[in-house]
Every structure is written in C-alpha cells, then in structure tokens.
Amino acid sequence: MNKMKFPGQQIGEFSITAISDGYLSASLDLLSNIDPMEASKLQRDAGVSDPSSIHINCYLVHGRGRTILIDAGAGGFKQWGGKLIANLSLAGVQPADIDTILLTHAHPDHVGGLLDSSGEAAFPDAELVVHQREVSFWKDDGNLSRASERARGNFLFARKVFDKYQEKMRTFTDSEVLPGISSMPLLGHTAGHSGYRIESDDRSLLVWGDIVHFPQIQIARPDVSIAFDQDPILSAETRSKLLDVVSSDKILIAGMHLGELGFGHIKRKGTLYEIFYEA
C-alpha cells in the first residue's frame, strides 16, 4: 500500500506511478527555431512560474511479478534532482525491491540516480536494460574525442554507470523487452533513445522519454528542438510524427519531462497540438 499518493495509472495488470526526482534548470536559449522571449511567453501563458525549470520524472511499474523502474533521474548530478530514492521510499519501495531498470537513454538526468553518493550501483539487484545502439554510442572513443567539453562529462558518466552495472546489463535490439512491455525507437535525441509501450487488457501507455523537455513549448511547437538533441532536425521530425500518432490513436502518454502530474493525452485542434494532463 502506498504510504504517499503519487500520480498513477492502471494499465491492465500493470500499475504505473510517476516518481519525481526533482528539477533541473536549462536556459531557453538552448532551444532552436524559437525566440527565447516567445518561448518564455508560452511558458508563462501556461502558468509556469519559472520558465527555465524542467521537471524530472521516473516511472515505477508493478506487474507480472516485477518491480520495474523506467529511468533513474539525475541523482544530484550538477545539483539536479536527487529526490528519487526518498520519493520511492515514500511510495513504499526500497532500492533492493527494484528488479529491472529500463533506460530510455543515458543522459545524466536519466542515469545519475543509478549511482549512489559513493559512486556504487544504487540498485544492486536490478538488471539494467538499454538499447544496444545507446551503449555503443557512449562507449565509442571516436565519439568521445569529437565531443564538446560539456558533452565529454556526459560520456565519462555514462561509461561509469555502464561499468558499475556491466554484470547485470542487458542490451536489446528487438522491440519486446519484457512480457507486456515493448520498446519503440524514438530517433534524434540520442543514438538509442527509446520509448516503452506498456500494454495489458486492451489498454496501453507510452513512456516517451525525452520527446519534449518543455512540454508547453514543444507540444505547441514541435519544430522546436533543444541543444541536448544529438540530431535536432530528426528529433523534431520524430516529435511531429509521434504527436500525430498519440493524438490520433488516443494513446495515454508519460514522459520524463512532462511535469509533476506525469501522465496526459495529446489532442489535436486543427494543426495544433495540446496536452491535457490526467488528474
């Protein structure tokens, strides 16, 4: 029984809970195809008090005898986030309870929480599941040598995480990663950026990773990418296509930067998309 109520959804046999890791801050100057003043106005018009603030969600999944975590937040990397473990505890879950971790990708605000304050595995009993392309990208010395100074730190941190979990790491290339959970390639953000589709009893949910960082901006303006995208043009194409699919098919979505409510539906009005959060 949950000790504290967090946003959650029931998808057949699976219960999915949004667990906050806290916030990071990113300048609106990092956005492309939009003036920062216009971006700030979109944020403020939507009632966002701090336009540069990005919320970090992780998703706890119970079902079919498993306790799964999708992404692990920033864990205090660069003073970002760091609230996952405390919030899991409030939800009645300890790190040793997690048997599987599904990674959308290996940016530090998604893998930082995989290491504890001493640099060891924070979830020592969990299998780490990640797309093969994602691991290959971060482990490639050529990619490291071409990286900017800022990005070099991301490479070194991702490698440290993979090293700490190497004995319990499973990479995938096919779509099914666990019974009832399949991966979806979401190209452009990172080499192996993956969403996870959870399906049971004719219901489904798509955890779409980092399709958006600023939902109030990038859902209204899918052409707007962010400097964290490895391929900004491809990531904008992926976002536009996915918004069309999830709005047409009325698919419930979850995302690491959707905000504290964690779940929503995308609705299309003419050529524009809008997010409606689930209560």
Residue 18 pLDDT exceeds 90: yes
Say yes or no to pLDDT of 3 above 80. no
- Band (150; pLDDT cuts 50, 70, 90): confident
Contact 179, 63 (CB under 8 A): no
Residue 11 pLDDT > 50: yes
Question: Considering the chain, what percentage of its residues have pLDDT values greater than 90?
Answer: 96
What's the CA gap between 77 and 171, in Å, rounded? 24
pLDDT at residue 1 in the model:
43
Averaged pLDDT, 89-116 = 98
Domains and CATH numbers, the chain: 8-278 (3.60.15.10)
Report the alpha-carbon distance of residue 234 to residue 87 in Å, rounded. Answer: 35
Distances (CA, A) of 59 to 54, 56, 84, 130, 236: 16, 10, 10, 15, 24
Looking at residue 229, what DSSP letter applies? -
* 58/65 Cα distance (integer angstroms): 20
> Which DSSP letter does residue 193 get?
-
Is the CB of residue 122 less than 8 Å from the CB of residue 75? Answer: yes
pTM of the full predicted structure? Answer: 0.97
Angle, CA of 70, 76 and 78, to the nearest 5°: 115
pLDDT, one tens digit per residue, over 213-270 is 999 999 999 999 999 999 999 999 999 999 999 999 999 999 999 999 999 999 999 9
Per the listing, tokens 């205090």 go with 76
Residues in contact with 14: Cβ distance below 8 Å, sequence separation at least 6, in sequence order: 61, 62, 63, 64, 180, 198, 200, 205
263-269/272-277 β-pairing: antiparallel
Residue 2, pLDDT > 60, answer: no
Instruction: Give the ranges where the chain is alpha helix by DSSP (H).
Output: 36-45, 84-90, 108-111, 132-139, 141-146, 149-164, 215-218, 232-248
| Amino acid in the structure at residue 183 | S
